[in-house]
């Protein structure tokens, strides 16, 4: 293993994040605050408890997931797309760095950033609603797995995109509906049967459900199923990245 | 001479369908400076990119110091430093940080004293804390060289290092290149400037339309270059060359209307004056005379136009 190489990539990516720390944090925090004001305080006060949990506390895990997903994807896709765009990728390709090491550096940094943001949002939430975390280890596990999985997904988008439009269109076109329909703001059991079934094809449902379970043991599906689906999606992304590097897809052809 | 890089049957067809290289064979000798010449789009950058691992080849194999550059990429890439043709740099970074980054990326522990030495050699030390975006084009080129040298490579590829670089910097750069060669580093450079190849290289290769059409020792090429030709237009055509003149190596041409004397400009067997005296002794009158010299440029253009 080229540990120095991994560290170099990771540190470079993190340096970019810390240079713009204010910007990186301000927008997710502001949007979370807005969600709390609108859904938690304004509308939430008129909504009855969900399975014995106040609506405000119910949406906390969903909101964190929402930021975690969008941040992971945008950080990781930009992280690898930008060197491709500017040409500095040549150095990574010419260096004795394996595909796995590149992934560890780039995806590791993107996941670190989004976990950092997720924790900041968790702290922000505490100002708005009282909540407690029933299973902190499970929470940390889901946070970690989700950040890694979606950073990998973002990495794939960053390798695939051949323009800035494509870089933005996936989060916009696919992730926004998936997250909004993923049970961040409601339990999917309140949906009509047809949409309930459709929702089960949405990977985000499993993430949000498992994550929420770790907070207050309210879940749409069993936590074991959540974990299995998350790991499945992680494996799928890893396989795609491996294939991309093996074939030199959009990098070396 | 042992070859440090051995390229066998390497071809490249890009995903777009364009064939950039057609079965190239090339041996690069340990410790030499090899200049690759060729017109735009000839495939120079493609060849370099394949050796460095930036582009996948379609067929063939590349051995670097005896190791396959795909299966043993960790070994081969560590041996190689690359200065790309374009100024690909992270513009928000500082010079010192980017050079340190390069060394780390190649898996080498810090050695700030060594990096300081390189930056000083390249007259970049004063700029070490400058952001790259504030540097001029020539300075950026030096930063790329410093990055390529940061991991102490034994082979250095310079892809058109003199593009957009003024005379002074070029001199500086060549000083560094020669110093590197003196420490045993093998250097491969591409250039459009033939004088540069003449000046610097031990061997010269010419690539055209994806084919390596010539690789030759520079001195052998210079000998061809040194060929001069004196042509005398005779007033009266000669049917046969007088025996005395044949001894001087003169030849008849253009159906006896011209006399041609081919000689090496640097050590002619007979001086021009001797030849002319012999002519007047033989009572051969001429109306006009001209001399021609083939340059590397002529050789190059002749090869490339085919
Ligand atoms: N990534 C790519 N995809 C498709 N075609 C490419 C790619 N890179 C280069 N080519 C084509 O391959 C051919 C060889 O290009 P290359 O860059 O190797 O030439 P070169 O000899 O370095 O030229 P120059 O002197 O202009 O730098 C050109 O026709 C070029 O258009
Ligand atoms: Mg080129």
Predicted confidence (pLDDT) per residue in A7-26, tens digit: 999 999 999 888 888 888 88
User: Residue B12's pLDDT is what?
Assistant: 97
User: Residue B306's pLDDT is what?
Assistant: 58
Please check the confidence at residue A232 and state whether its pLDDT lies above 90.
Answer: yes
- Name the residue among B14, B82, B106 with its Cβ closest to that of A96: B106
Average pLDDT, chain A: 89
Residues B150 and B233 in one domain: no
Q: How far is CA B270 from CA A131, B235, B282, in A?
A: 104, 23, 17
According to DSSP H, which parts of chain A are helical? Answer: 3-19, 21-35, 55-86, 89-94, 99-125, 136-160, 164-170, 176-180, 193-199, 203-216, 223-247
Q: Looking at A50-54, A104-108, B185-189, B301-305, which range is the least confident one? A: B301-305
pTM of the model: 0.85
Q: Is residue B122 within 8 Å of B179, Cβ to Cβ?
A: no
CA within 13 Å, CB half, A161: 27
**Sorting pLDDT into bands at 50, 70 and 90, what band is B232?**
confident
* Among protein residues, the one whose CA lies closest to atom 24 of ligand 1: B40
- Name the residue among A5, A90, A94 with its Cβ closest to that of B107: A5
User: Residue B213's domain spans which residues?
Assistant: 3-222
Among residues A106, A25, A38, the alpha carbon closest in space to that of A67 is found at A25
User: Min CA distance, A10 vs chain B (Å)?
Assistant: 10
Partners of residue A252 in chain B, C-beta under 8 Å: 54-56
Q: Tokens standing for A171?
A: 């989060």
B44: CA distance to ligand 1 center in Å? 8
Q: What is the CATH number of the domain that holds B192?
A: 3.40.50.300
CA separation for the pair B255, B237 (Å, rounded): 8
10 Å CB burial of residue A66 (0-12, 13-18, 19+) is buried
Closest ligand by atom to B207 CA: 1
| Residue recorded with tokens 């950073």 | A151
Residues B242 and B97 in one domain: no
| Residue at a domain's end among B160, B190, B222 | B222
Give yes or no for residue B255 CB within 6 A of ligand 1.
Answer: no
Is A5 in CB contact (< 8 Å) with chain B? yes
Residues B215 and B289 in one domain: no
Cα B78-B160-B10 angle, rounded to 5 deg: 60
User: Residue B173's pLDDT is what?
Assistant: 87
**Which residues contact residue A84 at a Cβ distance below 8 angstroms, ignoring those fewer than 6 apart?**
A158, A159, A250, A251
Most trustworthy range by pLDDT among A67-76, B72-81, B235-244: B72-81
**Residue contact B105–A4, C-beta within 8 A:** yes
| Average pLDDT of the residues in A68-83 | 92
Between helix A99-125 and helix A223-247 the angle, nearest 10°, is 140
| Average pLDDT of the residues in B108-115 | 96
Residues B211 and B87 in one domain: yes
Closest ligand by atom to B50 CA: 1
* Among protein residues, the one whose CA lies closest to atom 31 of ligand 1: B41
| Residue recorded with tokens 């025996």 | B243
Closest atom of ligand 1 to B44 CA is 21
Strand order across the B258-264 sheet: B250-253, B258-264, B227-234, B286-293
Residues B106 and B255 in one domain: no
Residues B136 and B269 in one domain: no
Q: What is the CATH number of the domain that holds B301?
A: 3.30.70
Please check the confidence at residue A48 and state whether its pLDDT lies above 80.
Answer: no
Share of chain A above pLDDT 70, in %: 100
Please check the confidence at residue B293 and state whether its pLDDT lies above 80.
Answer: no
Partners of residue B107 in chain A, C-beta under 8 Å: 2-5, 96
Among residues B36, B54, B35, the alpha carbon closest in space to that of B46 is found at B54
**Sorting pLDDT into bands at 50, 70 and 90, what band is A50?**
confident
User: Residue A125's pLDDT is what?
Assistant: 87
DSSP 3-state assignment of B220?
helix
Q: Looking at A106-120, B55-69, B247-261, which range is the least confident one? A: B247-261
User: Residue B193's pLDDT is what?
Assistant: 80
**Sorting pLDDT into bands at 50, 70 and 90, what band is B286?**
confident
Residues B208 and B248 in one domain: no
Residues B59 and B117 in one domain: yes
| Residue at a domain's end among B187, B222, B257 | B222
Q: How far is CA B245 from CA B236, B241, B280, in A?
A: 16, 7, 11
User: Residue B192's pLDDT is what?
Assistant: 82
Please check the confidence at residue B74 and state whether its pLDDT lies above 80.
Answer: yes
Residues B165 and B202 in one domain: yes
Closest ligand by atom to B20 CA: 1
Longest dimension (CA), chain A: 60
Number of H helices, E strands in chain B: 11, 14
| Residue at a domain's end among B199, B222, B245 | B222
| Residue recorded with tokens 């980054």 | B101
For B297, other C-beta atoms within 10 Å of its C-beta total 11
List residues bridging with B34 in a β-sheet: B188, B203
B73: CA distance to ligand 1 center in Å? 23
User: Residue A77's pLDDT is what?
Assistant: 94
The strand pair at B155-159 and B186-191 is best described as parallel
Closest atom of ligand 1 to B192 CA is 25
User: Residue B271's pLDDT is what?
Assistant: 76
Among residues A84, A94, A88, A5, the alpha carbon closest in space to that of B156 is found at A94
Give yes or no for residue B92 CB within 6 A of ligand 1.
Answer: no
Please check the confidence at residue A132 and state whether its pLDDT lies above 90.
Answer: no
Predicted confidence (pLDDT) per residue in A146-194, tens digit: 999 999 999 999 999 988 888 888 878 888 888 888 888 888 888 888 8
| Average pLDDT of the residues in B54-60 | 95
Please check the confidence at residue B264 and state whether its pLDDT lies above 80.
Answer: no
**Residue contact B107–A94, C-beta within 8 A:** no
Concatenating the DSSP letter of every residue in B28-90 gives EETT-EEEEE--TTSSHHHHHHHHHTSS--SEEEEEETTEETTTTHHHHHHHEEEE-SS----
User: Residue A115's pLDDT is what?
Assistant: 95
Residues B65 and B108 in one domain: yes
Q: Is residue A250 within 8 Å of A85, Cβ to Cβ?
A: no
Q: What is the total count of domains within chain B? A: 2
Residues B133 and B232 in one domain: no
* Among protein residues, the one whose CA lies closest to atom 17 of ligand 1: B45
Residues B163 and B274 in one domain: no
């Amino acid at each position: 293993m080229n540990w120095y190489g991994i560290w170099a990539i990771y540190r470079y990516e993190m340096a970019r994040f810390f240079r713009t720390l204010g910007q990186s944090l301000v927008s997710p925090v502001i949007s979370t605050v807005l969600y709390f004001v609108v859904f938690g305080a304004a509308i939430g006060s008129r909504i009855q408890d969900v399975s014995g949990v106040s609506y405000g506390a119910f949406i906390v895990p969903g909101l964190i997931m929402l930021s975690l997903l969008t941040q992971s994807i945008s950080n990781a896709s930009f992280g690898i797309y930008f060197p491709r765009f500017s040409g500095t990728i040549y150095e990574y390709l010419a260096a004795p760095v394996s595909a796995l090491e590149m992934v560890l550096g780039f995806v590791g940094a993107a996941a670190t950033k989004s976990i950092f943001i997720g924790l900041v949002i968790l702290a922000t939430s505490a100002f708005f609603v009282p909540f407690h975390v029933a299973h902190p280890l499970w929470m940390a596990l889901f946070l970690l797995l989700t950040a890694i999985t979606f950073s990998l997904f973002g990495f794939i988008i960053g390798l695939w995109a051949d323009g800035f439009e494509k870089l933005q269109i996936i989060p916009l076109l696919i992730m926004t509906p998936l997250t909004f329909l993923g049970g961040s703001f409601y339990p999917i059991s309140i949906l009509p049967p047809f949409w309930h079934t459709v929702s089960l094809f949405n990977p985000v449902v499993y993430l949000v459900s498992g994550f929420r379970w770790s907070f207050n043991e309210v879940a749409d599906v069993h936590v074991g199923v959540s974990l299995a689906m998350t790991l499945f999606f992680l494996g799928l992304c890893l396989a795609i990245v491996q294939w991309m590097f093996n074939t030199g897809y959009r990098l070396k052809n | 001479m042992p070859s440090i890089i051995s390229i066998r049957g390497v071809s490249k067809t890009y995903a777009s369908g364009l064939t950039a290289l057609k079965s190239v064979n090339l041996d690069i000798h340990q410790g030499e400076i090899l200049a690759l010449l060729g017109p735009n789009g000839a495939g120079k950058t493609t060849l370099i990119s394949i050796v460095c691992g930036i582009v996948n080849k379609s067929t063939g194999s590349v051995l670097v110091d005896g190791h396959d550059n795909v299966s043993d990429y960790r070994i081969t890439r560590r041996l190689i430093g690359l200065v790309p043709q374009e100024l690909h740099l992270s513009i928000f970074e500082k010079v010192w940080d980017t050079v340190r980054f390069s060394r780390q990326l190649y898996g080498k522990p810090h050695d700030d004293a060594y990096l300081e030495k390189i930056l000083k050699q390249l007259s970049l030390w004063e700029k070490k804390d400058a952001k790259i975006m504030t540097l001029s084009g020539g300075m950026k080129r030096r930063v790329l060289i410093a990055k390529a040298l940061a991991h102490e490579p034994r082979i250095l590829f310079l892809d058109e290092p003199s593009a957009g670089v003024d005379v002074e910097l070029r001199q500086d750069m060549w000083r560094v290149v020669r110093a590197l060669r003196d420490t045993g580093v093998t250097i491969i450079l591409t250039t459009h400037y033939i004088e540069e190849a003449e000046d610097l290289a031990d061997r010269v290769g010419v690539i055209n339309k994806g084919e390596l059409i010539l690789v030759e020792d520079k001195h052998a090429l210079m000998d061809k270059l040194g060929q001069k030709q004196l042509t005398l237009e005779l007033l009266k055509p000669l049917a046969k060359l007088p025996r005395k003149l044949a001894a001087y190596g003169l030849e008849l041409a253009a159906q006896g209307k011209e006399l041609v004397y081919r000689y090496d400009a640097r050590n002619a067997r007979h001086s021009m004056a001797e030849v002319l005296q012999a002519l007047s002794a033989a009572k051969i009158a001429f109306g006009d005379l001209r001399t021609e010299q083939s340059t590397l440029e002529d050789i190059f253009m002749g090869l490339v136009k085919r």
